[in-house]
Structure 1
Amino acid sequence: MNKDKPETTVTGNTLEEKLGITSKEIKQSKLYSFIDEWYGAPYKYGGCLKSGVDCSCFTDLLYESVYDRKTARSSGDIFKECDKISNENLKEGDLVFFITNGKSISHVGIYLKNDKFVHASSSKGVIISDLKEAYYKKTFYSAGRLKHTS
């Protein structure tokens, strides 16, 4: 196993274990295939490539590839494109927003299942994290769902 890129194949145990689900529960295979392709990509502020990507570009790339939708290029602007939803109503593909700088929305991730979300972390690159982790509980701002476009 390559230690630089954790094994995360959609049908492999690692991703399923991270999400606390079985392979039969995976309904959006395109979503998880995209995550598999990008998992472990390093973080780079303003980056939009597998060699370095930030959270808003990762979100935009995922949405374009999986849902055929473009998003804004900053986490704050993406939030403006969303309808606010409660955590209890989160579904796969919804967005989670954080205030990590103490001032305004500065981070975005894509909700998966069981309080897990995928994002481009400034310290670890593209990873799956848990909303229950102390850091994310402290910095969580809101959940949102992109508004329907005509």
Structure 2
Amino acid sequence: MKRRFRLSVLFILPCLALVGCSSTPTEEGPQRSAVHWPFPSDDRPLDFVTDPIDEYLLIFSRWEGTPYRLGGASEKGIDCSAFVQILHSELSSPVALPRTTRDQVLEGEKVSYKQRQAGDLVFFKTSRSVRHVGILIDKDHFIHASTSKGVTMTRLDNPYWRKRFWQIRRIS
């Protein structure tokens, strides 16, 4: 039930803002923490969200659907490494990530696939010389700026990405 609920939130939050409706939780998507969704109506600031996964999803909801643009770093278009860099900076991470995937893959420590966890960077080799990066939001899903879908959430076991998986790095 918690799994479906998290994915629902990504689609329900924008609708709530537009039409003021509510929905029942469903069972797909990443695991949720104890934060209550939709947000309480007492106008508390978003700093009450303490689970990093929830923070990732809040930021993701603002960027979702932003088109991919090589070298881009704005709402008009963004590439994968800029999305990861911005996400880390918006989370007030003490680690400032470099701008390019080539440099980001040198940060932190490499971890095994079995040791992966939310917040780890996941890297792919999409061609002989092209690399791609995203951020795990749980063991099964990552968010990234896709060349075909823009900023999106994808399953790690998606056949396209599974075939191109390279490594996972943990930024302390």
8 A Cα contact 2:121 2:169, kept in partner: yes
Q: What does residue 18 of structure 1 align with? A: 29
5+ unaligned residues in a row in structure 2: which ranges? Answer: 1-9, 15-21, 36-49
Q: C-alpha deviations, 1:55-105, integer Å up to 9, x for none?
A: 00000000001143321111121011121001121121110000001235x
Q: What does residue 102 of structure 1 align with? A: 128
Mapped to 2, the partners of 1:41 and 1:73 lie a distance apart of 18
Q: Percent identity?
A: 32
Q: What does residue 112 of structure 2 align with? A: 86
Q: Which amino acid aligns with 1:27?
A: D
Task: Report the secondary structure of 1:37's partner residue.
Answer: helix
Q: What does residue 67 of structure 2 align with? A: 42
Task: Report the secondary structure of 1:80's partner residue.
Answer: coil
Mapped to 1, the partners of 2:124 and 2:12 lie a distance apart of 25
TM-fit CA distance, 1:8: 5.7
* TM-score (normalizing by structure 2): 0.72
5+ unaligned residues in a row in structure 1: which ranges? Answer: 1-5
Q: Which amino acid aligns with 1:83?
A: E
Asked if 1:27 corresponds to 2:51, the answer is yes
Mapped to 2, the partners of 1:79 and 1:131 lie a distance apart of 18
TM-fit CA distance, 1:22: 4.2
* TM-score (normalizing by structure 1): 0.81
* Alignment equivalent of 1:59, drawn from 63, 70, 84: 84
- How many residues are matched? 140
TM-fit CA distance, 1:9: 3.3
Aligned CA distance change for structure 1 residues 48 and 13 (closer, same or farther; 3 Å):
farther
8 A Cα contact 1:8 1:39, kept in partner: no
State the superposition RMSD in angstroms: 2.7
Aligned CA distance change for structure 1 residues 141 and 122 (closer, same or farther; 3 Å):
same
Aligned CA distance change for structure 1 residues 39 and 64 (closer, same or farther; 3 Å):
same
